[in-house]
Amino acid sequence: MNIKLYGVRGSIPAPTSTKEYKKKITQILENAIEYQLKNKDQFDEFLNQLPQHLTYLTGGNTTCVSIRTEEKFYILDAGTGIRTLGDEIFRNQNQYPKEFHIFFTHTHWDHIQGLPFFKPLYLPQYTLHFYSGFPDIEERLAYQTDERFFPMPIHKTASKKYYHHVDINRPLKIENSIEIHSFPLKHPGGCFSYKFINLKNNKIFIFATDVEFTGEDFLDNSKYIEYFGYADILMIDSQYTLDESFLKIDWGHTSYTMAVNCANHWKVKNLILTHHEPAYEDEKLFYNYTHAIRHRKHLDSERPKIFLAKEGMEFQL
């Protein structure tokens, strides 16, 4: 499985502001003075020694992740990141299939708002399969593109479309080598996690965005251990700091501290922190990331290995 991230923000798109851009440039120039940068030959070495938040943009698009296997192409959620994916597909049509399997965790705006801008939706050579734990997913997606809200209703687009209900009690097999499980999550209006198991090598990827975990969940609930336990990669909501999460109880999101606690308790190998707070600049997100690692060390554990989700990141399982 090749896993690629196209959107990692939560709640609403968060483009980099001019203020943040100037702040980054100022900090880079300050580092250049201290480094005594003199010529172009030093550029690579100089850039490699900068703090991480100065060497990348986390990205402002809302949730979208692709999973490519030997046989199929899956998409998890259709936040604004799916527009970028659609443009990539359109530019390199010979490198992509003509059939996509799109799974929705839930239908809050930040997880569906990019779908009307997904180019394959409008082209007759493409087939789109939509999957959801909600049986009325077709009606929900159609409502978003009602003429009051969007100029092109989804039912009038040229692609072939099929809608599928995902049963949490029955694993789904779209191809022989991949088994897909679903699990309900605590979030206003409901939400579903998806677990992809590669049956050839028993590698497991779990996508669990928009969920509020508490200490009771990871200490006292065996069903969580059964589902999340020993995952090779867990990509999980970590929108808040611990202090902020105490102020937003029942908002449906998790702190990075609790995400680390859960992954450690469930013996997850790799943890990807995602669904970033839109008000956080890259510097704040990097600060949270380094403190997530520090918290894991306080747990006296080397697992999980922790990653901060950024647009364009890829993982192989």
Are both 172 and 245 inside the same structural domain?
A: yes
pLDDT in tens, 244-259: 888 888 888 899 999 9
The per-residue pLDDT of the chain, averaged, comes to: 95
Predicted TM-score (pTM) of this structure? 0.95
- Residue 234, classed as helix, strand or coil, is strand
Examine the domain organization and report whether 34 and 113 are in the same domain.
no
Q: Can you give the pLDDT at residue 242?
A: 86
For residues 131 and 40, membership in a common domain is answered with no
The answer on 103 and 215 residing in a single domain is: yes
Q: Taking residues 97-121, report their average pLDDT.
A: 98
- Checking if the pLDDT of 105 tops 70, the result is yes
Do 142 and 278 sit in the same domain of this protein? yes
Three-state SS at 294: helix
* pLDDT band at residue 218 under the 50/70/90 scheme: low
Q: Are 74 and 8 found together in one domain?
A: yes
Domain span at residue 40?
18-54
Q: Please determine, for residue 134, whether its predicted confidence score (pLDDT) is greater than 90.
A: yes
Q: Assign residue 302 the CATH number of its domain.
A: 3.60.15.10
Same domain, residue pair 38 and 93: no
- What are 137-150's pLDDT values in tens digits? 999 999 999 999 99
E-strand ranges in 58-106 read: 64-68, 73-76, 99-104
User: Is residue 220 pLDDT above 80, yes or no?
Assistant: no
Pairing of strands 233-237, 305-308: unpaired
Residue 219 has pLDDT above 70, yes or no: no
The answer to whether residues 202 and 307 belong to one domain is yes
Dihedral (C-alpha) 90, 59, 186, 137: value to the nearest 10 degrees?
A: -20
pLDDT at site 166: 97
Question: Tokens for 269?
Answer: 């190998």
CA distances from 103 to 67, 78, 190 (A): 11, 8, 15
- The sheet that has 99-104: what strands, in order across it? 160-165, 127-132, 99-104, 73-76, 64-68, 2-7, 314-316
Q: What is the model's pLDDT at position 250?
A: 85
Overall residue count recorded for the chain in this entry: 317
Within this chain, do residues 30 and 123 fall inside the same structural domain, yes or no? no
The total of structural domains in the chain comes to: 2
Clarify whether residues 50 and 192 are in a common domain.
no
- Together in a domain, 26 and 138: no
Contact 65, 73 (CB under 8 A): no
Bridge partners (DSSP) of residue 73 are 68
Residue 214 confidence (pLDDT): 81
Judgement on whether residues 74 and 189 belong to the same structural domain of the protein: yes
d(CA 316, CA 23) in angstroms, rounded, equals 34
- Give the model confidence (pLDDT) of 240-295 as tens digits: 988 888 888 888 889 999 999 999 999 999 999 999 999 999 999 999 999 999 99
